[in-house]
Structure 1
Amino acid sequence: MATMKLMEVLLLTSSISIASAKHIMIPSTSFNSQSDFDTDWNYLYPWGSDHNGAARMRESQVSLSDGVLTLRATRVDGEAPAHHGGKEIAIRYLSGAVHAKERFNVVAGGGYDFAGEFRAPVARGTWPAFWLTGVDSWPPEIDMAEWKGSGKISFNTFNTSSEVRALDVDYPNPDAFHKILCEVRDMNGQDVSVRFSMDGQVVATQYGRGFVGKPLYL
């Protein structure tokens, strides 16, 4: 089970004058009620219920309560297999995913802050993720936080399938909420810098080649 609260996305129309150019795209109140959720979010992945893992997404596996979004996985048998990258993938779980209705496009001179508080399992077999991926092509992809069942948290940026900057760090106290912040900024009109922070501490800075002007799903 993964839970999330206080999600917020800021659009920075100028990376030089941030203080005077903030625009909240998704407010921290978006999980306060079903109507607030429905304003900013949809269920499942943007492309449907299946991706590249052994879990199939279902709206019934997502719940809201007291400002917290919960995604729950349940063991299941008898589901039809998924298909991804020319491979057949057996479905062993039903789980939950949500994606923002808004799409995010870093423009020259601009950027975004993506922030949220997460409580995520790191046990073997689990795979929660907080990520951005290309609308029209892949890559780009930015894994703002990924918990791949290794006991660690990962921060990754994909430029190609083989050109990947990836960092795994220890994930303290998985039973507690941890704040994740990902600051994505235009560098030169073409490329972006990606700065990852956890609990107020900068963990890594990576770079995305050619990410400017490419819309992203959250």
Structure 2
Amino acid sequence: MGTRYVALALIALAAASLTTLSESELQKRATTLIPCDVFDSVENLETYFYYGYPPPYYDVHDGGARMAKSQVTIVDSRDGPYLQLNATPKAEGVGPPKFGNISLEYISGTITSYQNFVIAPGGRLDMQADFITPVLEGCWEDWWLTGADDKWPPEIDMAEWRGEIGSILSFNLFNDSVTSVAHNEFPYPNPDEWHTVRADMRALEDNITVKVDYFLDGIFLQSQWGNMTGEPMVMILDYQMLAWGGSPGPDFPTFWKVKNLSVVSYDP
């Protein structure tokens, strides 16, 4: 019996060693694609992001706000710098009143990454950021990935808030059509305080499927799956208004705040 227990212990120890080794090897593969000080200065911001949406949209897309560089600022607060996207009711006569059938009632801020992000076969991307988010009727904030070169889908919404449903955090993954979507909602308490959202994206062994694990303040909430391995995607921090955010919107400026955003790749 003693010999058996020793053998079992050695097997367990070996398995643990393999697990530790695997995690250790994974950390050796870590490459920072966006550092957590990206919003510490305008210079850092403009190294990794440009203002507005990717072409062909540029300054309007889906909602009731036109995007402008003036609505994107770096705030140097007592607790450290952060990105601030400002949605402000548009003064009458300022800019075109409509884009197609959409009434443009706000000026707001959106930024898009220069870099394409790819979850390579055998690879992994970890994305994380801290947010203070207005959840008023009409506000619609989204931290998302979409296909590069105007390809859609794929889409991964690492964090989406829609004021029409209140203080709720949504995770969405559009797989290969508008109807092939994974969607989950969770309570989002105290939205006027900083919260950390994380999405870990891993390519599975079939070299097709990506598994996305979502976390809020370090607590695992949900997994979603999609056929996105090898798909180049851009990151957008998007403060839209109205549309999916509901209506009417606020008649005063609102501010979406973001800090400590980072992207780490563990590609082989």
TM over 0.5: yes
User: Given that residues 128 and 146 in structure 1 are in contact (C-alpha distance below 8 angstroms), is that contact kept between their aligned partners in structure 2?
Assistant: yes
Is residue 215 from structure 1 mapped to residue 235 from structure 2 by the alignment?
A: no
When the two chains are superposed, the root-mean-square deviation of aligned CA atoms in Å is 1.6
User: Which of the pair is proportionally richer in helix?
Assistant: 2
- What SS does the aligned partner of 1:60 have? helix
SS of residue in 2 equivalent to 1:116: strand
Residue equivalent to 1:59: 69
Report what 1:20 is aligned to. 28
Deviation at 1:16, TM superposition (A): 9.1
Unpaired stretches in structure 2, ≥5 consecutive residues: 1-21, 236-268
* Residue in 1 that maps onto 2:184: 167
CA distance in 1, matches of 2:82, 2:229: 32
1:9 matched residue in structure 2 = none
How far apart in 1 are the matches of 2:171 and 2:207?
A: 23
Contact in 2 for aligned 1:122/1:148 (Cα 8 Å): yes
Larger RCO: 1 or 2 (CA < 8 Å, sep 6+): 2
Offset, 1:92: 0.8
Larger radius of gyration, structure 1 or 2?
2
Rounded Cα–Cα distance in structure 1 between residues aligned with 2:25 and 2:162: 37
Match of residue 200 from structure 2: 183
State the alpha-carbon separation in 1 of the partners of residues 171 and 214 from structure 2. 7
2:139 pairs with 106, 126, 130, which one?
Answer: 126
* Distance in structure 2 (CA, Å) of the matches to 1:192 and 1:103: 16
Residue 33 of structure 1 deviates from its aligned partner by 1.3
Between the two proteins, the alignment pairs up a number of residues equal to 200
| Match of residue 170, structure 2, among 154, 178, 182 | 154
CA distance in 2, matches of 1:138, 1:15: 34
For the 8 Å contact 1:15–1:111, the answer to whether it is kept is no
Q: Which digits, 9 at most, give the CA deviation of each residue in 1:40-75, with x for residues without a partner?
A: 111111220011011111100011022200001111
Instruction: Identify which of 188, 198, 202 aligns with 2:220.
Output: 202
Q: Percent identity of the aligned residues?
A: 37
Offset of 1:31 from its aligned partner? 1.0
Question: What TM-score, normalized by structure 2, do the two folds share?
Answer: 0.72
CA distance in 2, matches of 1:194, 1:24: 19
1:180 partner SS: strand
Does the 8 A contact of 1:15 with 1:185 survive in 2? no
Could you list the runs of 5+ residues in structure 1 that have no partner in the other structure?
1-13
Structure 1 runs of 4+ aligned residues shifted over 4 Å read none
